[in-house]
Amino acid sequence: MKYISLNDKNHKVSFEDAVVRGLAPGKALYFPEKIPNLSKDFFQNLGELSKEEIAFEAIKPFVGEEIDKNGLQEILKKTLNFEFPVVPISENTGTLELFHGPTLAFKDVGAGFMAGCLGHFVKKGNLGKITVLVATSGDTGGAVANGFLGVEGIDVVILYPKGKVSEIQEKQLTTLGQNITALEVNGNFDDCQDMVKKAFSDAEISEKRQLTSANSINVARWLPQMFYYFFAYKQLTEKQEKLVFSVPSGNFGNICAGMLAKKMGLPIDRFIASNNENNVVTRYLQSQEYSPKPSVQTISNAMDVGNPSNFVRILELFNNEFEPLSKQLSSFSYSDEETRKAIKQVKEKYNYVMDPHGAVGYLGLQEFLAENPDYYGTFLETAHPVKFLETVEEVIGEKVEIPVSIKEAMNKEKKAFNISDYDELKAYLMQ
């Protein structure tokens, strides 16, 4: 499998090169040269396969021979060592819980898979030392820090917006030490992401450090997110209704991976991009005009993205044609007030506690199902509610049980360097 630059389709690289480089020249994203079709036998036998077997068949065409079978299976075994249950909420609604990994967020899968792939390539001995440079609006930082912790030959530098991640999220990315460094940025997530992209195109930095990114712009972070939808479908095969997935969407890597799985043959009928007030895609589907705006802060902070990087990949899946895209993708946007109300109502009615991101996904699903009652809907719970403890407890009026791993992280000392602009990031990287 070759990977093309979405800015120049004559620029083609291997899977390893795409993972190591992170971005193509000119800050462009890499994209698979072709989308494989999985066999009918695979889908018919899905119920008999383990998570690792499903994931292996789904990801193997994208990796090719660049990681041997045993090596790839070992990476998947380590990455997928927790469950992905679909929990029924009501007669026509369930939630896919993606928070049972080590940092209680869906990004544990992409971060773990990428760490395994990059560690494999480093061990081959021809790369030298690599610096993973990543921006986070919330959960990415902790997941990447955990996934890469102690991986030989790799340093990790994480940028996060000061005061705009939850206390638990901040602790998860600032307390590990070893090969993990946290940079606290006086700005928002878009500022962090812009700094990261600028660093990748800075020739002086490139001479000093070999950079790659662990944001969902990296193919090894983005692609394994398709696993969620295969795992969910395995649990939903008995449903007679058409299937729709509502995905709380920030940088759009998760939902893009789901739509990729559909292109590969997974029988999902529709997708919903559920947004908070950072709603560039909701507005695009209403107007056909794509107009990014600076991000605004919300209680669903991992979705506070004003210019989602992965949306260009979704457009590529549909050859940049609006009509076929609009037939598969709906999008809705919700305020913090509506999000809080949903958390409260679902707790009172179904005794289920959602985090703010899952609540946005739930709202989008309910709005869609109200007009399309012939669907069975699944919304994604992308983070454990404990990661937004203050917000959730205030809304439901009771305590949320804190997992042991979180208690341990909260007792550790925060270590982060404060920076205000790109020059300060560059100075750090040039050390």
Active-site positions read 107
Task: Tell me whether residue 423 is exposed, middle or buried, using C-beta atoms within 10 angstroms of its C-beta: 0 to 12, 13 to 18, 19 or more.
Answer: exposed
Cβ-Cβ contacts under 8 Å for 129 (sequence gap 6 or more):
153, 154, 155, 209, 210
Quote the crossing angle between the two packed helices 389-396 and 336-350, to the nearest 10°.
60
H-type alpha helices, 159-264: 167-174, 189-200, 203-208, 219-222, 227-236, 253-263
User: Of all helices (H) and strands (E), which one includes residue 95?
Assistant: strand 93-97
- Provide the 10 A C-beta neighbour count for residue 413: 8
C-alpha distances in Å from residue 99, one per residue of 80, 88, 106, 228, 414: 12, 16, 6, 11, 23
Q: What is the H or E stretch that residue 375 is in? A: strand 375-381
Q: Which two tokens stand for residue 274?
A: 């559920």
d(C-alpha 223, C-alpha 217), whole Å = 10
Please state, in angstroms and rounded to a whole number, the distance separating the CA atoms of residues 276 and 45: 38
The strand pair at 86-90 and 93-97 is best described as antiparallel
Q: How far apart are the first and last CA of the chain?
A: 36
In the 8-state DSSP scheme, what is residue 175?
Answer: S
**Could you tell me if 335 and 296 are in contact, meaning their C-beta atoms sit under 8 angstroms apart?**
no
d(CA 193, CA 205): 17
Bridge partner list, 183:
159, 417
Structure tokens given for 119: 């560690």
Closest CA to 342 of 307, 313, 381: 381
